[in-house]
Structure 1
């Protein structure tokens, strides 16, 4: 995997951490990208018999599924990435994700960083749409990418690789970078929101836009249009 892809993955991991931190702290104590957590929250609500607590996880699950499905449709039949970068349609979907996160940033700012009522639900669904799209885009990118919204498998592989000696080399340094980026992105988003609430939702959009910029988006998307016309 080339350095450009690795840097994009680190930035996307940071965006993912930021989105989930904001979803958990400001959008109803749920997750926008970690669907395992939302499934567990549904189970907790069912076990406690508190039906009113299922709405948030269900909205997030629905938004995530729609985002993933839409990206899968766009990227269906995409070719394996070359050494120079990800396929154009993958980059286009990530650019669309930036638009969603941009909306999240603007709306969150206009609402003073503390959305409530219907707006809290709207922003949660938008955040989940973006994370579903990001996850599906990484799958479409194939061997040229890696998960950037769920990290249990990444952490497990990293730890076992260190123990059995199979995880040495520069590639593992990038994996460590992604894991740290999740924490850093979450910390950054929450710290900014605590210091200046209206700006708290900007971090994910900035990080995702930087990730797309690393892929030379204009060139990638021109190639995608050419492929679709064939």
Structure 2
């Protein structure tokens, strides 16, 4: 049997490879954080490293930050990650393709609901908390899954170690730079998502970028494979 024939008969290999899926999810993370930081009161719902720092700012009384907003994001993210851990325990030893698609479908649903809330009831206090809770929970669920999938240098939400590896293991550092393309692509994906998200927030409000993020996750839920 040829390699092509083996791939055709292997359901794990059908669809978009996980590296490409995780790069698109990194773009989605940029969209989500653009919505949360620019539109929900300087809070992150995808990047929890930044959120812990923001919580410190808010607790110190820095203007423009909210302890309640940030704490809501952190708690909902942790709940989502705990759920993701439970799902990983049940499905992690089975088909990666099925597991990844189920998680992406859940993310698409949660972000889709947040988009609907933002479009139907924009600007209310309840909407702000609903968007924070829904998107943070979705990102926690996704991060737990991505962590267990273990694809190198593609966390989808945090770039600090990716950028560190890019520099430290480059030819200018002490390495060969063989992972540089993936790491560079991850940084560019996050930048592109943040740019697109910010532009959409500034020109079209919060609902449209959330809808774009939900549709992207939904497409990936239908097309992701289980192979890197």
Answer whether TM exceeds 0.5 for this pair: yes
Instruction: Output the CA distance in 1 between the equivalents of 2:153 and 2:161.
Output: 14
Tell me, yes or no, if structure 1 residue 75 matches structure 2 residue 83: no
Is this contact kept in 1: 2:101–2:222, CA < 8 A? no
1:191 to 193, 196, 199: 199
Task: Please give the TM-score of this superposition, normalised by the length of structure 1.
Answer: 0.80
Per-residue deviation, 1:165 = 5.4
| Aligned partner of residue 177 in structure 2, secondary structure | coil
Per-residue deviation, 1:96 = 0.5
**Equivalent residue number for residue 93 of structure 1:** 103
| Aligned partner of residue 169 in structure 2, secondary structure | helix
| Aligned partner of residue 43 in structure 2, secondary structure | coil
Per-residue deviation, 1:136 = 0.4
**Equivalent residue number for residue 224 of structure 1:** none
1:47 to 60, 81, 84: 60
**Equivalent residue number for residue 112 of structure 2:** 102
**Equivalent residue number for residue 182 of structure 1:** 190
Is this contact kept in 2: 1:75–1:90, CA < 8 A? no
Change (3 A) 1:144 1:34: closer
Matches within 5 A, 1:201-212: 201-212=210-221
Instruction: Output the CA distance in 1 between the equivalents of 2:24 and 2:155.
Output: 12
The number of equivalent residue pairs is 208
Q: Show CA shifts across 1:9-55 (max 9, x none).
A: 110000011101100011121000111222112222333388x8310
**Equivalent residue number for residue 168 of structure 1:** 177
Matches within 5 A, 1:19-34: 19-34=32-47
Q: Show CA shifts across 1:168-214 (max 9, x none).
A: 33x43122112111111111122123333342322211332233333
1:132 to 131, 137, 140: 140
| Aligned partner of residue 224 in structure 2, secondary structure | coil
| Aligned partner of residue 128 in structure 2, secondary structure | helix
Per-residue deviation, 1:66 = 0.5
1:157 to 152, 155, 165: 165
Instruction: Output the CA distance in 2 between the equivalents of 1:145 and 1:175.
Output: 6
Mean CA deviation greater in 142-151 or 95-104: 142-151
Instruction: Output the CA distance in 2 between the equivalents of 1:173 and 1:206.
Output: 27
Instruction: Output the CA distance in 2 between the equivalents of 1:175 and 1:123.
Output: 30
Is this contact kept in 1: 2:100–2:224, CA < 8 A? no
Unaligned runs of 5+ residues in structure 2 are: 1-12
2:156 to 128, 142, 148: 148
Change (3 A) 1:14 1:45: same
Note the aligned Cα RMSD (angstroms).
2.5
